[in-house]
Structure 1
Amino acid sequence: MASFPVINLVKLNGEERAATMEKINDACENWGFFELVNHGISPEFMDTVERLTKEHYRKCMEQRFKEMVANKGLEAVQSEINDLDWESTFHLRHLPVSNIAEVPDLEEEYRKTMKEFAAQLEKLAELLLDLLCENLGLEKGYLKRAFYGSKGPTFGTKVSNYPPCPQPELIKGLRAHTDAGGIILLFQDDKVSGLQLLKDGEWVDVPPMRHSIVINIGDQLEVITNGKYKSVMHRVIAQTDGNRMSIASFYNPGSDAVIYPAPELVERKENKDLYPKFVFEDYMKLYAGLKFQAKEPRFEAMKAIENTTSLGPIATV
C-alpha cells in the first residue's frame, strides 16, 4: 500500500508548488486524510498546547474517567462493547460565538492558549479550503462562502484523552465513523498511536508525527465536491499503556448554510447531481443518531426531503 500522504506546506512557496498541489489532490481523492508539516503553527506553541492539555486532564478529568470506568464495570467486560467509547472529552466552541470563557475548570493560561490555537487553526483551515478550490477548479473563496450561512462558519474543538485500556480488543477508543462537517484539523499525540482510517477495505494507521496537523475531509466537502473528495471511515484503537491526546478542530458550515454540489463539479460529471441539497443543521440532527453507521443512508435521507429545501444564494463575504 502507498505510504500515508505527508504534505510539506512550505513547498507551496517554491518550484515544488505544482507537485505539492498534486499531492494534496491525490490525498483528498484517494485517502480522505493527509498530514501537514511546516504548516505555520510554531512547534514551541504546539508544545505549550500539549503540556496544558495533558495537565488539565490529570488535574480535572482523570479521576472522573476512572470513576466512570469503575461505575460501569468496564475493566472486567467479557464481550465487545458497541455503545461506548473509551475516551474522556470536553468541547470548545469558537465560531460563530466562543464559549471558552464559560467552560468550567480551565485555567486562565489554558483558556488563552486554546483561544490563540483556534485562531491559528481557523486561518489554516481557510488556507486549505482555498487550496482545495484551486485543485477543484473552483473560484478562490468558493468553499468558504459555501460554508458561510447567515452568521459565518461553525468552528469548534473536541479535546480528547484516550487513557490506557485493559481490553482494547473489546472497547474502541472511538468507534468507526465519518465526520459530519467540513474540514477537520487534528493535533494528535506523537508518542501514543491509535488513529486508523479505512482504505481499500483495510484499517491503516495514521502515523503519529511530532508537531504535525492531520487533515481529513468531512461529509459536507464530499457533497460540495459531488463525490470527487470523499469523507472516510476512521476510528481510534485504545491502547493498553500510554494516554493518547487528541485535539480535533472542526471547521464546519454555519447551521443555516444550504449545502449542495458546486454547479461546476456537477456539469463535469456524467451522473450529474449525485448528492442532495440540504440545510447543514438538518444534516447534523440526523447525524446525531446515526454517527456510527454508514454515511450513504444519511445522504439518501436528506435527498428524500430536499424538495422542501429552498436554495438560498451563496453568501458573499
Structure 2
Amino acid sequence: MDAIPTLDFAAFRTGDAAARGAVAQQLGAAFERYGFIQLTGHGVPQPALDGAFAAAEAFFDRPEAFKRLVQDRRNNRGYIPMFDSALPGQKPGGHEAFSVGHLTRPADPALRDLPFHAETPWPEMPGFRARIEGCYAAMYALSQDILAAVALHLGVAEDFFVEASRESYSNMRVVHYPPAEAVAEVTDIGVRAHADEGLITLLIQDMNGGLFVQGPAGDWLPVVPNRDAMVINVGKLLRRWTNGRYQAALHKVVNTSGRERYSIPLFVHPSYHTRIDPASLVGEAPAGPEFEPIVAGERVYANFKARRVSWQEAEKA
C-alpha cells in the first residue's frame, strides 16, 4: 500500500557532503511524488515541542471571553474562534486556533502595515508567549535546513532560499480540534481539503491522528502520528517555483479519535517581494499559465483578501 515516507534527517544536519546529498535526494524524491514526508532526526528539542503543546492546552481550556480578548480579525492574528473558516456553500472547519506572526518584522513601513507582518496579540498567561515563540524559533531554524536540502536537490546554491527570505512573512498556528462528535451538528470536517500557500509547512501533531493526504492515485493516505517525527509538506509557491516538479498535495483533518486533538503548523514563506519564477530555481520556462512568474506576497495577499471577503459574506448569510 502507498504511504507517506519517513526519512531520518540527522545525516543532513550533521553528516559529510555525501551524506547530505543522499538525504537531499530522498527528500526531493518524496516531494516529487507526494509533496509530503515525515522527518525524524530533525533536531528540534522535545522540551520545546512539549512546552508548546502544554501552552496550547492551557490557552484553549480558557473561557471563550478570555480568548476573544486577543482576537484580531482584521489581521488574522491571535485567537481564531471555532467555525470561523466558513466559506459560502461549504461547511466550516471544526477547530479553533491561535495565529502567530513571524518573530521578526521588516523595517519597511509599507510591509509592516500588511496583515502578514501584523504584531501578535498575546494573552495574559505566564509562559505562554515564551513557549510558543521558543517552539517557533526552533521549527523555523529547521525549515531553513530543509530548504537548504531542497536547494541541493534542485542543483542551486544551498543559501538560495535564505536570500529569498530575508524578510519572511512566515507564520504559525496553534490549533485545537474537539472530537468530531462534539461539532457534528455544525460540520463533519476538522479542516477541509486544501493545499498550503507558502514554500513548505512544518507540522507537529499529537498522537490522536486525523491528518490525511491525497496520494498520487487520488486516495486519502493517513499521516500516522509519530512522536519522533515532524510532518513536512510542499506549498503552492514551491510547486510553482519548481515548475510543477514538486507536488502541493491536498490534505484534510477529520478528528475521529474521540479525544481533543492539537497540532501546530509553521507556514514558511519567502519575503513579500520575492519573485517566484521557474527560470530562477529550475532553469526552465513556465510549463503553463499556472507557473507564470508572480510576486510571492502579492499572490498570497490576494488570496487572503478573497477568503476574508468570503468569510464576511458567510457570516451575513
2:196 paired with 1:196: no
2:12 paired with 1:8: no
Q: CA deviation at 1:64?
A: 7.3
Q: CA deviation at 1:228?
A: 1.2
Letter of the structure 2 residue corresponding to residue 8 of structure 1? D
Q: Provide, for residues 139-173 of structure 1, a one-character-per-residue CA deviation record: whole Å limited to 9, x for no partner.
A: 1211232344xxx1112101111101223995210
TM-score (ref. length: structure 2): 0.77
Alignment partners' CA distance in 2, 1:258 and 1:288:
18
- The two structures, once aligned, show a CA RMSD in angstroms of 3.1
Partner residue, 1:131: 149
Q: Is the 8 A contact 1:85 1:173 kept in 2?
A: yes
Q: Note the 1:16-27 alignment, pairs <5 A.
A: 17-27=20-30
Partner residue, 2:114: none
Q: CA deviation at 1:19?
A: 4.0
Q: Is the 8 A contact 1:226 1:273 kept in 2?
A: no
Alignment partners' CA distance in 1, 2:293 and 2:287:
16
Counterpart pick for 1:156 among 160, 171, 181? 171
Partner residue, 1:146: 164
Q: CA deviation at 1:108?
A: 3.0
Alignment partners' CA distance in 1, 2:185 and 2:235:
26
2:213 paired with 1:213: no
Moved more, 54-63 or 192-201: 54-63
In the alignment, structure 1 segments of 5+ residues that lack a partner are 73-80, 292-317
2:254 paired with 1:237: yes
Q: Provide, for residues 51-76 of structure 1, a one-character-per-residue CA deviation record: whole Å limited to 9, x for no partner.
A: 221122112559979xx87x99xxxx
Partner residue, 1:103: 121
Q: Provide, for residues 59-105 of structure 1, a one-character-per-residue CA deviation record: whole Å limited to 9, x for no partner.
A: 2559979xx87x99xxxxxxxx8231100112000244298985242
Change (3 A) 1:241 1:270: closer
Q: CA deviation at 1:238?
A: 2.9
Alignment partners' CA distance in 2, 1:57 and 1:127:
31
Alignment partners' CA distance in 1, 2:130 and 2:119:
9
Counterpart pick for 1:255 among 272, 287, 307? 272
Change (3 A) 1:236 1:143: same
Residues matched between the structures, number = 275
TM-score (ref. length: structure 1): 0.77
Counterpart pick for 2:36 among 33, 37, 50? 33
Moved more, 162-171 or 119-128: 162-171
2:101 paired with 1:93: yes
Q: What SS does structure 1 have at the residue aligned with 2:97? A: strand
Q: Provide, for residues 11-54 of structure 1, a one-character-per-residue CA deviation record: whole Å limited to 9, x for no partner.
A: 33267555433321211110101111121112233222212211
Change (3 A) 1:102 1:22: closer
Alignment partners' CA distance in 2, 1:258 and 1:100:
22
Counterpart pick for 2:304 among 281, 288, 291? 288
Q: Provide, for residues 192-225 of structure 1, a one-character-per-residue CA deviation record: whole Å limited to 9, x for no partner.
A: 1111111121011111111421111111111111
Q: What SS does structure 2 have at the residue aligned with 1:266? A: coil
Q: Provide, for residues 104-137 of structure 1, a one-character-per-residue CA deviation record: whole Å limited to 9, x for no partner.
A: 4252311111111111112111111110000111
Change (3 A) 1:111 1:95: closer
Identical amino acids, percent of aligned pairs: 24
Alignment partners' CA distance in 1, 2:146 and 2:282:
19
2:198 paired with 1:181: yes
Change (3 A) 1:169 1:196: farther
Change (3 A) 1:261 1:102: closer
Partner residue, 1:82: 90
